[in-house]
Every structure is written in C-alpha cells, then in structure tokens.
Amino acid sequence: MRLSPVFVALLSGLLAADLGLARSVAPRVADSPAAVTGTRKTSLLKNVAGLPPVPSAAQVAATSLNTDDIQGDILVGMHKQKQLFYFFAINDPATFKTHLASDIAPVVASVTQLSNVATQPLVALNIAFSNTGLLALGVTDNLGDSLFANGQAKDATSFKESTSSWVPQFAGTGIHGVIILASDTTDLIDQQVASIESTFGSSISKLYSLSASIRPGNEAGHEMFGFLDGIAQPAINGFNTPLPGQNIVDAGVIITGATNDPITRPSWAVGGSFLAFRQLEQLVPEFNKYLLDNAPAGSGSLQARADLLGARMVGRWKSGAPIDLTPTADDPALGADAQRNNNFTYSHAGFDLGSDQSHCPFSAHIRKTRPRADLGGSLTPPNLSAGANSIMRSGIPYGPEVTSAESASNTTTQERGLAFVAYQAQLSQGFHFLQQTWADNANFPPGKTPATVGLDPIIGQNNGQPRVVNGLLPSNSSASLSIPQFVVSHGGEYFFSPPISAIGGRLSA
Ligand code: HEM
Ligand SMILES: *[C@@H]1O[C@H](CO)[C@@H](O)[C@H](O)[C@H]1NC(C)=O
Ligand SMILES: *[C@@H]1O[C@H](CO)[C@@H](O)[C@H](O)[C@H]1NC(C)=O
Ligand SMILES: *[C@@H]1O[C@H](CO)[C@@H](O)[C@H](O)[C@H]1NC(C)=O
Ligand SMILES: *[C@@H]1O[C@H](CO)[C@@H](O)[C@H](O)[C@H]1NC(C)=O
C-alpha cells in the first residue's frame, strides 16, 4: 500500500517526537570506513559488583538529558574492559574536518548507544579536543574555562609537581585531541586504530598513546594498589536512580550547558564536558612495603595491620567496604553491595565529628576528595549544592600486573598505574579543585582537632617530597607519618569532549 506524502510526513513527525529525535541529532550510520563493523552479542562494559550500574536503556528513555548527543564515556563510569587513549596532532585541518564530519561523527558512541548491548558498537569511539586542537580547527569561541584554555602543563605548579616527570608530549600544548577507544578485546581496538589511521591518513599524527585494561580475575574493578575503584560517583538528578549515599548533583555539574551550569557556553557546546586526563603511575611494591614497615602496633598479623593502614589511607578496604562503617576489619559482602557501600556520612550518634578519627582519618583519600558531613549542612534529603565539586570518574588501570620479581625486591621495574579520567563542567570546581584545594591542603577539612589534617596519602603532592599525613594510626590521632609519594604524576591534558552534534557540525565546519 502506498501512503500519501502528507500521511508519511505526519507519521515521521509523530515517530520523531516519540523517539525524541526532535532533539536535533544527526542520523547515525554504522558503516563508516572508520568503524569496525559487526554486531555485539555481549556488552563491551563490565558491571562490577559494588559499582553503580552502567546506565540502562530504561534510564536513558526516561531522562530529559539529551543522551543521544552526549558522548558515552562521560556517563558510563569505570566499567571499561580494554581502552586506548590515542593522542594526536592535526596536520591538515581541512582534510581532518572532512573525515571528522563524514566518517567519525556518525560513529561516535553516545550514552544512549552504550546503555543497551543491542546498540553498542564493537568498539566505542569517543573524541575530545584540547584548546590548541580547537584553535587548529579555527574554533575560537570562549568555552568559559580558563584552565582548559591554558592547558594542563600550565597548571602543573598548582599541584606542586614539575613537568620534568611528565610524558614529554604532555609537557606543552602540542596535543590537539584524544580519541578514546573502548572494547572488550585489544584485537578489536587494534583493528579500530588501523581504520582510523587509514581514514585520517596524514591529516593527523599520533603523538602518544596509552593502552589500559581492567585487571584480571578477582581484581576486576580494582586499581593497582588493590582497592575497588569507581564506587562513589555522583548521581545526576533526573538521570541516575540514586543509590543510598550517592551525591546527587544537577546535570550542569558534569555536563556543560545542562541544568544549573552557571557558565554561559556557546550553543554548540551544550551537552559536552571537560575531560581531565592524568597518567598517574603507582609504585605498588614500594607502597606495599611501606604498609608493612609502618603497620600500626596492635593485635593481629603483620599483614592484617598493614591492610588496616592501607584501608585508613584510602577510607575503604580493598573490597570497597567503607571503613566508616567497618573500621577494624574488611567486610567483602558490604564492599560488593552497592545499596550499602556508599551509605555513610562520617557522622555517627554520640560521635564528635571534629575530633573522632576512630572510624576514618580526616586525611583518607575518599574523605579528602568528598568530605560528606564534614562540610556541614544537610546531606539527606539530597542537598544539590553539596555536590558542586563532584567529578564523574571514568579511568582505568594501565600497565602490567606486578611481577613476582618486583614484589620480592620491593621495587617497581615496569610502569603501571591509573589512566585517570575525570569529567566535569568546570575544571576549576572539579579535578583541579579536588587536587589543589582539598588533597594537597594540609588544613582540609577545616575545623578539626588536631587542626592539621595533612595531605591526602594517596594523591597529595609536595613537589616530590614526602607528605605529612596525620590521623592514620588508630591508637594515636595526633601521630604524623611522613609518607613518600607512591603515586607519581606523568602529566596529562585538559580536553573538551563535545556534544556529538558539534563533531559533525561546528567543529568540522
Ligand atoms: C592513582 C591515583 C588514584 C588512586 C589509586 C585512587 C583510588 C581511589 C579509590 C580506591 C577510591 C575508593 C573507591 C571509590 O569510591 O571509587 C577512590 C575514590 C575517589 N577518588 Fe581516587 N584515586 C586516585 C586518584 C584520584 C584523583 C587524582 C582524584 C581527583 C583529584 C580522585 C578523586 C576521587 C574521588 C572524588 C573519589 C570518591 C570519593 C567519594 O565520593 O567518596 N582520585 N579513589
Ligand atoms: C542507609 O543508612 C541509613 C542510616 O544509617 C539507614 O537507616 C538505612 O537503612 C541504610 N540503607 C540501606 C539500604 O542500608
Ligand atoms: C548543602 O550543602 C552545602 C555545602 O556542603 C552547605 O553549605 C549547605 O548548608 C547545605 N544546605 C542545607 C539546606 O543544608
Ligand atoms: C621487602 O620489604 C619487606 C618489608 O619491609 C622486607 O621484609 C623484605 O626483606 C624486603 N625485601 C628485600 C629484598 O629487601
Ligand atoms: C601521639 O603522637 C604524638 C605526636 O607524635 C606524640 O607527641 C604523643 O606522645 C603520642 N601519644 C601516645 C599516647 O603515644
């Protein structure tokens, strides 16, 4: 049966409204020469117990966020299995733009696509640009973020670090962009790299790349020191179904131009996010030796006391169980239970929040980077303004597992660590703020006794010198430790992860 043209127009209008396609997103084609084609049968993401789940298709259908236009990596969290960060420079902007619009934009993976195995590509491709990359494309619009505009190398001194320990390609402004590829096998990622390189030809040069992987077996989801990572992520109001204890934030804390983003953005940049990338080496055998050598006195085996010190540095046991809820021993069932493992505030009945570190030291990594009740005010019911300094973490470990020779000699011989990725709408409120104003600040959180809390024992920095950290020993909250730096920054860059519509639109015009 032939339908009248009027009817067809009416029908497609209804369908478009129904599917939310009225949200001005270009149609997606899957047969770009830049994409590895094929159908997925199993998810490219791994749902690790204890982490907030990967956004679901139902969630995506119910939200007013334009998830068709938001790059997937921004909201999926730490669920990637294999990943490649491909840092490039643009040599020939005109040719690059042609391929960006016709071959890359159609295959950039959105949040919507990643929320459903049936629509997941074999390899999820995301792309983000540094400020010099946008300039190379002739895009001079002010995105409203001066840290982004200056580049991360200029920000190194804010974190008391020197670019002399940086990967040389990061120690300037030569990187124009990063292509982030995620899949479940490195073979698929390699195929995708070959397709991209043949698509762009000499219009880009690879400057550097870092491949990263979920850890094997029971270590899946754990960072290189052994702790489950990616548990406490902000829940976006109107998108995520909040888990108990999750920080509920307005979308504009993470997504540029979304609800309550206070900064004015160019219209094409609405639906993006700033990406802070950091290559953070972890000296694992050295860290383990430090824990053994400085294990607090007390009952229990040396290893158990060393584990306690490690847990007090992080604020969680290796399983992810929070020490605020289980201060003296790990509780793996708690660690694996996303309904319970984030449900704490550091405050307890009959407990002096200003001086009691018997559960969690004031300096613990997770307390420094999100002090919960320490800043006062109400946390429940959800207090949206309490989440202004939230970041969406999307990193993944890199480098080989520790070898038996490294562990026997207490010495790192092969680089490993965290390919740290944080998304936020304002770098000055997100990554930069957490590192500089909280982690590296000996007097944060304020109003404590003893007043000097010390630095974050995991990520706090002091120009390569040992960091003074207080409150880690359960028996004496006044005792100080001077802790060598076990996380060594090799730098990174600040990028803007644009809305997908801008990739084929403003950025390739
Ligand atoms: C190699 C470096 C790092 C390691 C080993 C590490 C490890 C961890 C671990 C084990 C957790 C607890 C699990 C979780 O809640 O996800 C955590 C939480 C967190 N980390 Fe890190 N991290 C590192 C770097 C950073 C950096 C550079 C920042 C930001 C400047 C950061 C910010 C956070 C935040 C915001 C949380 C959640 C806190 C909460 O809401 O309770 N981390 N990290
Ligand atoms: C979360 O913690 C509160 C306060 O301790 C408690 O009442 C509630 O039952 C907890 N929720 C879950 C799911 O355990
Ligand atoms: C919400 O949290 C902020 C920051 O932690 C705090 O200053 C404010 O008092 C809280 N609001 C309420 C209503 O408790
Ligand atoms: C490694 O460190 C542990 C803990 O201090 C120590 O017992 C062991 O002897 C060290 N091994 C070497 C080869 O130094
Ligand atoms: C606790 O540590 C402080 C600072 O090192 C020290 O002065 C004090 O004597 C210690 N107290 C006990 C009971 O060991």
Q: Give me the residue spans of the domains in the chain.
A: 34-280+493-508, 282-389+436-488
Which mutation among 287, 409, 410, 411 tests ligand 4's pocket best, with the greatest number of atoms within 8 A of CB?
410
Residue with CA at minimum distance from ligand 2 atom 12? 340
Ligand nearest the Cα of residue 480 is 5
Pocket, ligand 1, Cβ cutoff 6 A: 223, 225, 227-232, 280, 282, 314, 316, 365-366, 369-370, 391, 417-418, 420, 431, 434-435, 439, 458-459, 487
Residue with CA at minimum distance from ligand 4 atom 4? 289
Listed in sequence order, the residues at least 6 apart from 198 whose beta carbon sits closer than 8 Å to its beta carbon are 33
Q: What are the residue ranges of helices labelled H in 372-473?
A: 404-409, 431-433
Identify whether the C-beta of residue 35 lies closer than 8 Å to the C-beta of residue 123. Answer: yes
Q: What are the residue ranges of helices labelled H in 252-387?
A: 284-293, 302-314, 332-335, 365-369
Q: Is 476 in the pocket of ligand 5 (CB under 6 A)?
A: yes
Annotated binding residues for heme, as ranges? Answer: 365
Q: Residue 266 corresponds to which tokens in the numbers above? A: 């160019």
Q: What is the pTM of this model?
A: 0.94
Identify whether the C-beta of residue 370 lies closer than 8 Å to the C-beta of residue 322. Answer: no
How far is 188 from 400, CA to CA, in rounded Å? 20
Which mutation among 287, 288, 289 tests ligand 4's pocket best, with the greatest number of atoms within 8 A of CB?
289
Among the listed residues 298, 302, 296, 357, the one whose alpha carbon sits nearest the alpha carbon of residue 324? 357
Identify whether the C-beta of residue 430 lies closer than 8 Å to the C-beta of residue 418. Answer: no
Identify whether the C-beta of residue 467 lies closer than 8 Å to the C-beta of residue 313. Answer: no
Rg of the chain over CA atoms, in angstroms?
23
Per-residue tens of pLDDT for the chain, all 509 residues: 333 333 333 333 333 333 333 333 444 445 688 899 888 999 999 999 999 999 999 999 999 999 999 999 999 999 999 999 999 999 999 999 999 999 999 999 999 999 999 999 999 999 999 999 999 999 999 999 999 999 999 999 999 999 999 999 999 999 999 999 999 999 999 999 999 999 999 999 999 999 999 999 999 999 999 999 999 999 999 999 999 999 999 999 999 999 999 999 999 999 999 999 999 999 999 999 999 999 999 999 999 999 999 999 999 999 999 999 999 999 999 999 999 999 999 999 999 999 999 999 999 999 999 999 998 877 655 676 789 999 999 999 999 999 999 999 999 999 999 999 999 999 999 999 999 999 999 999 999 999 999 999 999 999 999 999 999 999 898 899 999 999 999 999 999 999 999 999 999 99
Residue 316, classified by CB atoms within 10 Å of its CB into exposed (0-12), middle (13-18) or buried (19+), is buried
Determine which one of 69, 103, 155, 229 is catalytic: 229
Taking the CA atoms of residue 52, residue 53, residue 54 and residue 56 in that order, the dihedral angle to the nearest 10 degrees is -130
Residue 229 among the catalytic residues: yes
How far is 483 from 246, CA to CA, in rounded Å? 30
Q: Which atom of ligand 2 is nearest to the CA of 339?
A: 13
Q: Please give the helix or strand (H or E) that residue 75 lies within, else none.
A: helix 73-76
How far is 317 from 267, CA to CA, in rounded Å? 44
Residue 478, classified by CB atoms within 10 Å of its CB into exposed (0-12), middle (13-18) or buried (19+), is exposed
Gap from CA of 410 to ligand 2 centroid (Å) = 41
Ligand nearest the Cα of residue 472 is 5
Q: Which atom of ligand 1 is nearest to the CA of 316?
A: 12
Q: Please give the helix or strand (H or E) that residue 397 lies within, else none.
A: strand 396-398
Q: Residue 362 corresponds to which tokens in the numbers above? A: 């004031």
Identify whether the C-beta of residue 110 lies closer than 8 Å to the C-beta of residue 55. Answer: no
Which mutation among 343, 344, 372 tests ligand 2's pocket best, with the greatest number of atoms within 8 A of CB?
343
